[in-house]
Structure 1
């Protein structure tokens, strides 16, 4: 069984759907489950082949990120997981003070893993690695929009150097030529890197086929047991997880009773959008232009704004909407100039906390009012929603868009969307009366 630890909520849904897409029945938990022990002690878990635990550690202090990641690892091991996948962002969001290196060190030590293969490459999202350098589209990472990220500005594209600045161990590269040489060539290169004292092996990949080749090689090595420690720990973005899942798909997964439904259940729907990414702004605009009811959270409407008042106003507005007008949208997403104005007035951290708290309260109010199909746009928004609702996890279902799966819980169906994912019409399509 594969167990994944993800450093944020929408990253967890991305890796979960990558596993599900290739036939692995996948459970997703928001935070580490409270119960420990053998799988037999876990009550009423659906049949599954993979488990993903979503943490909120991407920008957390190192000590906190390590502690939470090790707690997740303890649960996965007690649950019978044989191979652990640490999922980080495909843009390797982490400065020299970041926590990817410390978390990897801690997980590798706990698993006694002498070598950790990894790559952030995710070609379907425009992230590729070549000769150890990470590209976003046709630009080096350090020349992309990530250079100016407010929390994790990425000013170096050479991943071994970025990782070694955070870790106590060496990093090396498995070049593209070797990856395309197939599983035997990859295995030989990994063994060579290990003999040179390298702990982290960054695999080049510029196409999905490269990730499939890498996944097959890693699956073969893991099956070999003691070779390179059995590769008990692998890391990267969702792309390499898909490669591993593809290798499992060949002969190990079978449909059984208890598989998630192929269609999303009908029910009253609503959308909450907090991401300020260009794609989410497009999606919000599409909803408004279509004529759906939409309410903007105005953080500057009052001299001393508070989340409870913002939420109360939004829910009062919601109560006045007619179901026949379509699924309502409540949003705080703003274009850069307006976002800057809010951050200047309230401060970056206060404005984010205000809006996240308001969106969480609104989510709870919507569910109380009978919403059973809820869409959240943005990683922080998704985290606020699941915390406010007390949702502990669910079963991964069909994708509404590439990398954006529906999540089935006992009383609610969720769609948690990373800010930049999905076509412009996603929020409209996902909340139509009939959803495939």
Structure 2
């Protein structure tokens, strides 16, 4: 590859249809990605959209096959679940998806990881993801860019940092949420060491001092780093400009297709490079509309968002979750949940928040509560949409989003409205005719401004990042 990646498709022939009666096949997408959870997948789709690339995200068991077909989109994605899987099961999940994405002809294929590098040697291993990518795309170095500066995620000299809810930036192993994550607590901020514990591949770091050099000199330094034969190269970034520079280094002169691991910060940087611009589309705001929010997240950010919604007139319906037995999904319990949702929607409230009690249960891998909660939350969504006339749905929590979209029979999504960093409303294609076509926000537990539910309901204006860089509501 001598420059940035381009479509791998055959150039369009405008006279083919007239001559043969057969339309020219759609060109290959410019980029493709696999997301290791559902909310992260929508973030990648949104970041490419912000850079001017239009895409489609596929869900479900047939997602890989659907992604392999030519759709005419700039971007094609597969929403996966690798982040929550035991490491020994990851290859069976990842490889078929990456094989399908390779078949699209895209010049760049991303494994979309969380910007907080959530992973461990035993669960959601990023090292195993890199290994799977090399098995599909060839044994060449895999660039990794975890930083997402607009979202408060930074990498400097290989160490990763994350902003907390109060706006303070912490080294990852001291960040209040990530250092105590219930599944993948981060005890190491040095991403080289973090990844070395997950793979036998050599891991190197490429630091941001190179970004001050003329590009040809920085490229020589990058070549020298990758020339030592690392399996993974961790790239620094403190700003969006750094991220674009790092992405350019990785893309220029690299293999085609190029496989890389990265956050939404990498998605945005690559999209901007492909479109030849550093600008992004502005955030928007929908008109007024009723909303149902369903949440299985126990993140502090989600708790604050639910609290604010309650203080501003939203109805709430808590669902008790037993640590051992999960939710009560008996016919009587589901009927009671239906009645509670409809009673809430019959009020003047802008919407209803259905959440685990307390505001997010403790996710413990492999336990039944995760499955039964998904059943209950999907039932609440169907009730609100089919019987309550609601057309806007918010699902909160990465694992929760995967379970709920699966139970709703979600098949594909395209970006509708960009709301804020880490939050975008999508148009959903779904097997369930009642849910098909709804506007859906899949939100990570730590993502979005504290007034995000009011934003979905059209009760606030659009965010202006020039005056509000964190996407927070005014005081």
Decide whether aligned partners of structure 1 residues 27 and 348 sit closer, same or farther in structure 2, where only a CA change above 3 A counts. Answer: closer
2:302, 2:414 → 1: CA distance?
25
Q: How is 1:100-179 mapped onto 2 (pairs within 5 angstroms)?
A: 100-137=126-163, 138-145=169-176, 146-179=178-211
Specify the alignment match of 2:51 in structure 1.
22
Match among 254, 261, 264 for residue 235 of structure 1 = 261
Q: What SS class does the counterpart of residue 229 from structure 1 fall into?
A: coil
Per-residue Cα deviation, 1:332-380 (whole angstroms, up to 9, x for no partner):
26368xx57xx8xx99934333323311222233332233211112212
* TM-score of the superposed pair, with normalisation by structure 1: 0.86
Decide whether aligned partners of structure 1 residues 160 and 389 sit closer, same or farther in structure 2, where only a CA change above 3 A counts. Answer: same
Specify the alignment match of 1:378 in structure 2.
397
Bigger mean CA offset, 362-371 vs 299-308: 299-308
Specify the alignment match of 1:224 in structure 2.
none
1:179, 1:33 → 2: CA distance?
41
2:460, 2:66 → 1: CA distance?
41
Specify the alignment match of 2:434 in structure 1.
none
Q: How is 1:361-400 mapped onto 2 (pairs within 5 angstroms)?
A: 361-369=379-387, 370-400=389-419
Task: Measure how far apart 1:300 and its partner are.
Answer: 5.5
Task: Measure how far apart 1:388 and its partner are.
Answer: 1.4
Q: What SS class does the counterpart of residue 89 from structure 1 fall into?
A: coil
1:191 maps to 2:223: yes
Q: Is the contact made by 2:90 and 2:129 (CA closer than 8 Å) also made in structure 1?
A: yes
2:35, 2:121 → 1: CA distance?
20
Task: Measure how far apart 1:263 and its partner are.
Answer: 7.1
Match among 76, 94, 97 for residue 72 of structure 1 = 97
Specify the alignment match of 1:259 in structure 2.
none
Give the total of aligned pairs.
Answer: 414
Decide whether aligned partners of structure 1 residues 286 and 433 sit closer, same or farther in structure 2, where only a CA change above 3 A counts. Answer: closer
Please provide the CA RMSD for this pair.
Answer: 3.1
Specify the alignment match of 1:325 in structure 2.
349
Higher helix share: 1
Match among 304, 308, 321 for residue 282 of structure 1 = 304
* TM-score of the superposed pair, with normalisation by structure 2: 0.79
Q: Is the contact made by 2:286 and 2:456 (CA closer than 8 Å) also made in structure 1?
A: no
Task: Measure how far apart 1:9 and its partner are.
Answer: 0.7
1:241, 1:113 → 2: CA distance?
23
Per-residue Cα deviation, 1:237-293 (whole angstroms, up to 9, x for no partner):
111221111101227x9x9xxxxxx87587653111221111111111112111222
Task: Measure how far apart 1:193 and its partner are.
Answer: 1.9
Specify the alignment match of 2:118 in structure 1.
93
Q: Is the contact made by 1:270 and 1:329 (CA closer than 8 Å) also made in structure 2?
A: yes
Q: What SS class does the counterpart of residue 77 from structure 1 fall into?
A: helix
Per-residue Cα deviation, 1:216-246 (whole angstroms, up to 9, x for no partner):
3334x1xxxxx44246111111112211111
Specify the alignment match of 1:258 in structure 2.
none
Q: Is the contact made by 1:179 and 1:205 (CA closer than 8 Å) also made in structure 2?
A: no
Decide whether aligned partners of structure 1 residues 110 and 303 sit closer, same or farther in structure 2, where only a CA change above 3 A counts. Answer: closer
Match among 73, 77, 83 for residue 52 of structure 1 = 77
Task: Measure how far apart 1:35 and its partner are.
Answer: 7.0
2:322, 2:142 → 1: CA distance?
48
Task: Measure how far apart 1:34 and its partner are.
Answer: 5.1
Decide whether aligned partners of structure 1 residues 79 and 304 sit closer, same or farther in structure 2, where only a CA change above 3 A counts. Answer: closer
Task: Measure how far apart 1:38 and its partner are.
Answer: 9.6
Q: Is the contact made by 1:275 and 1:333 (CA closer than 8 Å) also made in structure 2?
A: no
Q: Is the contact made by 2:325 and 2:369 (CA closer than 8 Å) also made in structure 1?
A: no
Q: Is the contact made by 1:218 and 1:244 (CA closer than 8 Å) also made in structure 2?
A: no
Give the unaligned 5+ runs of structure 1. 222-226, 256-261
Q: How is 1:414-429 mapped onto 2 (pairs within 5 angstroms)?
A: 414-429=440-455
1:58, 1:120 → 2: CA distance?
14
Bigger mean CA offset, 61-70 vs 200-209: 61-70
Decide whether aligned partners of structure 1 residues 185 and 29 sit closer, same or farther in structure 2, where only a CA change above 3 A counts. Answer: farther
Q: Is the contact made by 2:371 and 2:403 (CA closer than 8 Å) also made in structure 1?
A: no
2:294, 2:369 → 1: CA distance?
17
1:94, 1:303 → 2: CA distance?
27
1:263, 1:117 → 2: CA distance?
35
1:8 maps to 2:37: yes
Q: What SS class does the counterpart of residue 13 from structure 1 fall into?
A: helix
Specify the alignment match of 1:63 in structure 2.
88
2:261, 2:412 → 1: CA distance?
22
1:400, 1:29 → 2: CA distance?
21
Q: Is the contact made by 2:146 and 2:262 (CA closer than 8 Å) also made in structure 1?
A: yes
1:268, 1:326 → 2: CA distance?
6
Decide whether aligned partners of structure 1 residues 2 and 217 sit closer, same or farther in structure 2, where only a CA change above 3 A counts. Answer: same
2:148, 2:174 → 1: CA distance?
18
1:17, 1:379 → 2: CA distance?
16
Decide whether aligned partners of structure 1 residues 287 and 102 sit closer, same or farther in structure 2, where only a CA change above 3 A counts. Answer: same
1:180 maps to 2:212: yes
